[in-house]
Structure 1
Amino acid sequence: MSVFTPEEMAYMEAHRNDSRVHEVHWVYSVPIVCATISTSLRLWAKRAGRNGITLDDWLIVFATLCLIGECASGLGYGPPHGMGRHVIAVDPHDLMMVRKGDYVFSHFYDIALVMVKLGILAFYFRVFAVPLFRKFVVATAAFVIAWGIGITVTLALACQPIEAFWDSDVKGKCLNLVNFTYFTNITNLITDIWIFLMPVPVIWHLQLQMKKKLLLSFIFSVGLATCIVSSIRLTVVLGHGYPDFTWSYVPLGAYSAFEPLGGILCTNLPIIWHMWRKRQALFPDTSTFKTQRSSTAIPGSGESRRSRIARSLGLSNADESQGDSQSRTILGDEEAGWAPEMHDGNSHPDRAQFFGKVERVHAESQEVENGETSAGVAPLRKSRSDGPPKSAEGMRKNVWEVRRKR
């Protein structure tokens, strides 16, 4: 008995020569190119900016390799074996190869998602030195690891024996792939929303201008676009259970490739964006790559009540122990509000301005004295009746008063 209705059979017969092979080629080729270029630029920007390669970079590199493996398996097992054509136009051996490719493809997909999430969480842990926030990051990472192990092991044992996954002639007991895919997508979507919204409350407790808070919130929330891809993928999950799977796998595979790509781009683009924003030179030895310490106010000076409450809740942005390079990578030293450094008293803006005035007045007075002496004018030390020039007297008086204040 056929698994297709008469109407479905009639439709496939009428469209036997239809093909979506060209779609398969570009939906798997584009993610390979985009992920490779963006991750390479990320690593170059980190090395050029002398920030070093850290754990989050290695995790994103591994996620990129998994995405490349996912798309490569889709290209290798897909179009050459009939993917993109109706199942009635594909011979049984090719049908088995398409199912085998789906088995490999799904493993790469799940691991890529886990690595992207862990890379983002590792990035959060380095940038935000807030104890309470870091506890949430570690707890979320533990859940992601457990989730990844669970779905990977479940998929690996989806059929008993495992050959029944791709060979329809082998009798065995298999997991309901539609229900499993629904579970994977729903939990993945919830986790994505949680991860991308995690830093927003911390950002709004930073001592930054409103426009910078909005910009940071936008940068860290742009990953929510991948949630849209996950939501759309839910609508095509039924392709795993549809008998004409060589045709229905095309949109499912496309969303499965672009979903981890979206996460990789969301972690790479802010770092690349900072590189272009700073207009850095092509060679890392130029001065544009040298970090400059900005003067920040002494912690605790002029602190608002809101800041004190935030500190008591563990959401303060004042952490003396941090000097994180990644915060400088995204915002620059002058904007990295969550990585303040302790300075001596001379770095205070008011004191720096005060002593700057002293030096300028002293230099001007010296120039006046030297100029009058070289012109043959009598020294400024004259009798009280003559009196010195008013400008020189005023400048000497200012220097004396300023030095007395010091």
Structure 2
Amino acid sequence: MFDYVPFPMFDIVKIHLIINSVLAFLTVSVVALRLVSRLTSGSKLWWDDYLILFALPQGLGMLIIQGLWAPMGIGYNVTETLPNLETILKMLVAYELIYATSISTIKVSVMLFYLRVFVNPSLRKATKAALIFVGLWSIGNILQVFLICRPFVKTYSLTAEGVCGNQVASFIAIGAFNIISDVMILTLPLPSVWQLKMSTARKLGLSCVFLIGLVVSVIGIIRIVTLTQLDLTNLTGTMIWADFWSATEPNLAILCVSLPMLGSLWKRFRANRGASESKNSGYYSSESNTIGSSAFSKIKNQDAAERGDTQIHLENLYAANQEVHYQSAVATTTTPEPVRMLVDHKDKDSGSEVSLTEPSPYQTDRNGIRVHTKWSISHN
């Protein structure tokens, strides 16, 4: 497909390619699980999901270009790779363009996620302002690809006449703004999180979920350091690490922003696993027709809720238009006959009777204690 002189790949180039290939596989897997999590929970995909799907092939495109470059002499002095240099420069234009659009798409996806889940007016205004900032930053990124050299053909042609600006300085400036915008976006929800009425531990955990993307900012800083070592007069000889980190950053960013979306899928997995362990341990017995506690039914209700199944939610049990009655019965075989007592429970002005009844005929331990609870809900 490309006319070039092949060179044996250096070991470090092979290692970089393997690392980014594994990262790309993990990224695709996590995005797939993100979609499964959203769809199985009964939620429809929204713009933040669609934008990640749009960014994914762009991240893979960065890896593809890295792979195409590898046998063209990456790591060799430009005097040796001169026959391949124009092809490499043409691919560099696509590389810069894909990098700019993929990073921008991921940032916009994160901010649209904020607009989907947060109702705090101040946070929503700040997010919209950040969207405008990122939009302008993205336009500048894309324009510099086409305007850095005049005429444009000078960007990749070794023989064309023209003039180019300082491309390395442009790359570094874009990387710096990229890191600043990352920190700004990732810290946007933190004030709202710390205003929530929950334990400090849970606030810290939720903050860590939002700040996981700072890993990408660290990669961005490393990338800037490698760009300072880039010499366009010896491009193939100095681009090994800049090439590697530039291809790593988009895929890692997609991975990091998608991981927190797997929370509901993980909860369902743990719930199903807990239910399976309960059955295997004999906690649930179909022969005695009893359940050791309400935990198993609670797990089932949570699982149904995450699937979007219709159910009576907890807050609806005490709605103003309905009365709740419950009856608890405790049976013991240590007395010759049951003792009955009446306890008045006030629940929306309704009473409940608690009586001691005969033990179940299924009970094997005649000296044990059994508790039966019955609930009934009536609408006014």
Shorter-normalised TM range: 0.7 to 0.9
Give 1:39 deviation, angstroms: 1.1
Aligned match of 1:80: 71
Classify 1:191/1:133 alpha carbon distance in 2 versus 1 (closer, same or farther; 3 Å): same
Percent identity over paired residues: 24
Q: Is the 8 A contact 2:27 2:251 kept in 1?
A: yes
Q: Is the 8 A contact 1:82 1:98 kept in 2?
A: no
Q: Distance in 2 between matches of 1:404 and 1:251?
A: 69
Q: Is the 8 A contact 1:87 1:245 kept in 2?
A: yes
Aligned match of 1:359: 326
TM-score, with length taken from structure 2: 0.72
Which has the higher mean CA deviation after the structures are superposed, 43-52 or 180-189? 43-52
Aligned match of 2:80: 89
Classify 1:405/1:17 alpha carbon distance in 2 versus 1 (closer, same or farther; 3 Å): closer
Letter in 1 for 2:248: F
Give 1:136 deviation, angstroms: 0.6
Q: Distance in 1 between matches of 2:19 and 2:229?
A: 17
Q: How does 1:3-402 map to 2 (within 5 A)?
A: 20-76=12-68, 78-90=69-81, 92-279=82-269, 289-291=303-305, 343=315, 346=318, 359-360=326-327, 391-392=339-340, 394-395=341-342, 398-399=343-344
Q: What is the DSSP-based 3-state SS (H/G/I as helix, E as strand, rest coil) of the residue aligned with 1:245?
A: helix
Q: Distance in 2 between matches of 1:402 and 1:190?
A: 58
Which has the higher mean CA deviation after the structures are superposed, 96-105 or 22-31? 22-31
Superposed CA offset, 1:67-125 (max 9, x none) = 1112212222x0232223232322x3301111111111111111111011011101111
Classify 1:402/1:231 alpha carbon distance in 2 versus 1 (closer, same or farther; 3 Å): closer
Q: What is the DSSP-based 3-state SS (H/G/I as helix, E as strand, rest coil) of the residue aligned with 2:239?
A: helix
Give 1:66 deviation, angstroms: 1.0
Which structure is higher in strand share?
A: 2
Q: What is the DSSP-based 3-state SS (H/G/I as helix, E as strand, rest coil) of the residue aligned with 2:66?
A: helix
Classify 1:88/1:404 alpha carbon distance in 2 versus 1 (closer, same or farther; 3 Å): closer
Q: Is the 8 A contact 2:41 2:306 kept in 1?
A: no
Q: Is the 8 A contact 1:56 1:123 kept in 2?
A: yes
Give 1:154 deviation, angstroms: 1.6
Q: Is the 8 A contact 1:161 1:173 kept in 2?
A: yes
Give 1:404 deviation, angstroms: 11
Q: Is the 8 A contact 2:318 2:348 kept in 1?
A: no
Letter in 2 for 1:54: W
The number of residues matched between the two structures is 308
Q: Distance in 2 between matches of 1:121 and 1:135?
A: 11
Q: Is the 8 A contact 1:197 1:221 kept in 2?
A: yes
Q: Distance in 2 between matches of 1:158 and 1:175?
A: 5
Q: Distance in 1 between matches of 2:31 and 2:347?
A: 56
Classify 1:404/1:150 alpha carbon distance in 2 versus 1 (closer, same or farther; 3 Å): closer
Where do 5+ consecutive residues of structure 2 fail to align?
Answer: 1-7, 274-299, 351-380
TM-score, with length taken from structure 1: 0.68
Q: Distance in 2 between matches of 1:38 and 1:150?
A: 31
Q: Distance in 2 between matches of 1:31 and 1:359?
A: 55
Which structure is higher in helix share?
A: 1
Letter in 1 for 2:318: N
Q: Is the 8 A contact 2:172 2:228 kept in 1?
A: no
User: Highest CA radius of gyration, 1 or 2?
Assistant: 1
Where do 5+ consecutive residues of structure 1 fail to align?
Answer: 1-15, 294-324, 326-340, 369-374, 378-388
Q: Distance in 2 between matches of 1:56 and 1:346?
A: 36
Give 1:28 deviation, angstroms: 4.0
